Structure 1
Amino acid sequence: MKAVLMKAVMVRDFGAPGLAQVEEAPVPTPGPGEVLLRVALAPVNFVDLLVIEGKYQFLPPRPFSPGKGPVGTIEAVGEGVTTLAAGDRVLAMAEQGGYAEFCLAPADQCYVLPDAVGFEAAAALSLAYDTAWFALHARGRLAEGETVLALGASGAVGDATVQLAKAAGARVLAGVSSMAKAEAALAAGADGAVDLSAPDLRASLRAQVQALNGGRGVDVIVDPLGGDVFDAAVRALDWCGRLVVVGFAAGRIAELKTNYLLVKNIEVSGLQISDYRKRRPAQVRACFDEVLALAAAGRIAPRPVAAYPLADYATAMEDLRARRAQGRVALRMGEG
């Protein structure tokens, strides 16, 4: 029998976006515990750039189709899957395969979308809001009434951090790359904005935080940037504050002298969200239950999606890297 074919971005050699080609590949068959997803939208994430370029810490064997966290409709289910059925609309936290018309995903990492949450909203939530939720609650141990500094607030994780922290009853400061981006962060719910382009950031970041927070540092910082911003931000923590490292979008992996942790009684921890999906799936499901409920109730507002056709995946990735796109970048496989 002739295989049914689909279009997919296939990585055969690691390198810059554009090296991989859109090819025809067989539509996969779901195995035990898996579902086959007809992909509507696949979010484009900074981590996808790292995977395609061979710079990520976990790299799949080649050839493979990249793309984490696609959304769409279940086409078929594998043996033993009883909680999902063909026709269900889901956010599927697949580790790869999303840049294709069909994708396999573990059934226990698929989350049925409420009627009020469309595919575009779900694509905007994917990998950003679960990362922010775990940074705030699992790693940052955020308590109601505490103050959060969301670095990179104009990015997907930063914006999600602002909104989820506000929904949890926190006071929120948004770290933005220029004050021209402050208005959007304030509209998302931030109580104030910190200019990360200010001169002498090592001193000025802390001074800005204290000026906005009654002379105090902040209780929780979520940092997807690293580099010089991390160096400055750790000094803006209050006594017993917690900083959570979620990425290095600024390009440099920062280093820290641990005596500074001791003298201020502060913590720096890291978050690799994929490990939670593998090791604590029940906690991830609780996360998505809350996030999807907040979205359905209108208490968080996922960003609009800038959707590109699959054939333009390289343009989408370069626009993401250069911060040219408006809204959350995604690839559209169909009208969904």
Structure 2
Amino acid sequence: MKAVVVTTTGAPAGIAYADHPDPVPGPGEVLIAVEAIETNYPDLLVVEGRYQVRPPVPFVPGKGAAGRVAGLGPGVSGLALGQRVATQVEYGAYAERLCAPAALCYPVPDAIPLVEATAAVLAYQTAWFALTDRAALAPGETVLVLGAAGGVGIAAIQLARALGAGLVVAGTRGSAKHDAIRRAGADAITDLAAPDLREALRADVHRLTGGRGADIVVDPVGGAAFEPALRSLAWRGRHVVIGFAGGEIPVARTNYLLVKNIAVLGLQTSDYRDRCPEETAAAQAAIFRFMAEGRFRPVVSEVLPLHAFATALDRLRAGRAEGKIILTTEGHRP
């Protein structure tokens, strides 16, 4: 099979589109004929050797894919050959064939194209658990989403709306991606490139909320936006830390947490996948149900062939993606 293979992390010459042995499903595993592959910012960190999980080389990167069941390992039931499924894995998705645990293979409703299905796995599960489990979103609450034009940002906007948020405020740098953010359902947009962001973000959020502040911050950015977002929280607000696309890992001043009775919460989505596969499957079923009902569709900014993976990674590195970039294999059926 063809796959993207990393032989040396951190070096452009160490990653290539090449032949790679076909995987064979073991006990409890499913072989998937991959058609669509989700690209994510963590993929970039993995191939550069900067992610918290470092696969042994050589390896195939990629954390999410969708396709059709092509084989069943011993002990697998409840899935059928040819069935459309989406999955998430630690790595291995940038390939024409992928083995995944059956518990992490999510049936895709007929109404949902596989390109959209794979766009709605990792980023949407991340946003789901950030809003429902970590932040315990209640109907009518205000949600501030940082990095709002990225994959997790768009997912958080759409899911916050679907889950009953009262006001969704999107934070992004500049105005180039405002149209995509508005299409996702944001009620208002605030500029994370504003001068004196420490004061400007709080002032903007307080203006939008009648002086109350945001109940929840969904933060895949970190960096310079962290403290201003923390200061924009309402009493008993919750700031969910998902990642550090802004580059810098920030530090919270705990006296501020005490004074405002606010909480900073961490989210490592792969822990839900590994520790709570049943909860993850239920979350994905709910996400697909919202999509099938027409509540939202993932924002897919670009669909590229798998061999153009470097272009996708360059887009992610430069922060030029509006929503998701999806890779497709030669076996993809539109």
TM-score (norm 1): 0.96
Shift in CA distance, 305/185, structure 1 to aligned 2, threshold 3 Å: closer
The counterpart of 2:125, out of the listed 89, 113, 130, is: 130
Deviation at 1:182, TM superposition (A): 2.8
Q: State the alpha-carbon separation in 1 of the partners of residues 26 and 80 from structure 2.
A: 14
User: Partner of 1:70: helix, strand, or coil?
Assistant: strand
Deviation at 1:291, TM superposition (A): 0.2
Q: Which residue of 1 aligns with 2:297?
A: 301
Q: Which residue of 1 aligns with 2:111?
A: 116
The percentage of counterpart residues that share the same residue type is 52
Q: Does 1:265 align with 2:261?
A: yes
Q: Which residue of 2 aligns with 1:23?
A: 18
Q: State the alpha-carbon separation in 2 of the partners of residues 312 and 67 from structure 1.
A: 14
- Count, aligned residues: 331
Q: Does 1:39 align with 2:64?
A: no
User: Partner of 1:95: helix, strand, or coil?
Assistant: coil
- The answer as to whether partners of 1:18 and 1:314 remain within 8 angstroms in 2 is no
Gaps of 5+ in 2: none
- The answer as to whether partners of 1:42 and 1:331 remain within 8 angstroms in 2 is yes
The counterpart of 1:315, out of the listed 311, 314, 317, is: 311
Deviation at 1:19, TM superposition (A): 2.5
Q: State the alpha-carbon separation in 2 of the partners of residues 326 and 245 from structure 1.
A: 21
Q: State the alpha-carbon separation in 2 of the partners of residues 138 and 127 from structure 1.
A: 16
**1:160-217 deviation per Cα after TM superposition (whole angstroms, max 9, x unaligned):** 1111001111121111211343333222211111111111000000000011111111
**1:276-321 deviation per Cα after TM superposition (whole angstroms, max 9, x unaligned):** 1111112111111110000111101211251222222112101122
- The answer as to whether partners of 2:34 and 2:66 remain within 8 angstroms in 1 is yes
**1:194-253 deviation per Cα after TM superposition (whole angstroms, max 9, x unaligned):** 111111000000000011111111100000000110111000000000000011001000
Q: Does 1:166 align with 2:161?
A: yes
Q: Which residue of 2 aligns with 1:186?
A: 182
Deviation at 1:326, TM superposition (A): 5.0
Q: Does 1:14 align with 2:38?
A: no
User: Partner of 1:65: helix, strand, or coil?
Assistant: coil
User: Partner of 1:136: helix, strand, or coil?
Assistant: helix
| Runs of 4+ that moved beyond 4 A | none
Q: State the alpha-carbon separation in 2 of the partners of residues 77 and 183 from structure 1.
A: 43
Q: Which residue of 2 aligns with 1:211?
A: 207
Q: Which residue of 2 aligns with 1:103?
A: 98
Of 112-121 and 299-308, more deviation after overlay is shown by 299-308
- The answer as to whether partners of 1:37 and 1:103 remain within 8 angstroms in 2 is yes
- The answer as to whether partners of 1:28 and 1:102 remain within 8 angstroms in 2 is yes
Q: State the alpha-carbon separation in 2 of the partners of residues 105 and 168 from structure 1.
A: 29
Q: Does 1:241 align with 2:237?
A: yes
- The answer as to whether partners of 1:120 and 1:305 remain within 8 angstroms in 2 is no
Q: State the alpha-carbon separation in 1 of the partners of residues 171 and 320 from structure 2.
A: 19
Q: State the alpha-carbon separation in 2 of the partners of residues 271 and 44 from structure 1.
A: 19
Q: Does 1:152 align with 2:152?
A: no
Q: State the alpha-carbon separation in 1 of the partners of residues 62 and 2 from structure 2.
A: 14
Q: Which residue of 2 aligns with 1:3?
A: none
Deviation at 1:126, TM superposition (A): 2.1
Q: State the alpha-carbon separation in 2 of the partners of residues 316 and 65 from structure 1.
A: 15
Q: State the alpha-carbon separation in 2 of the partners of residues 123 and 200 from structure 1.
A: 38
- The answer as to whether partners of 2:154 and 2:323 remain within 8 angstroms in 1 is no
Deviation at 1:327, TM superposition (A): 4.4
The one-letter code of the counterpart of 1:197 is A
Q: Does 1:76 align with 2:63?
A: no
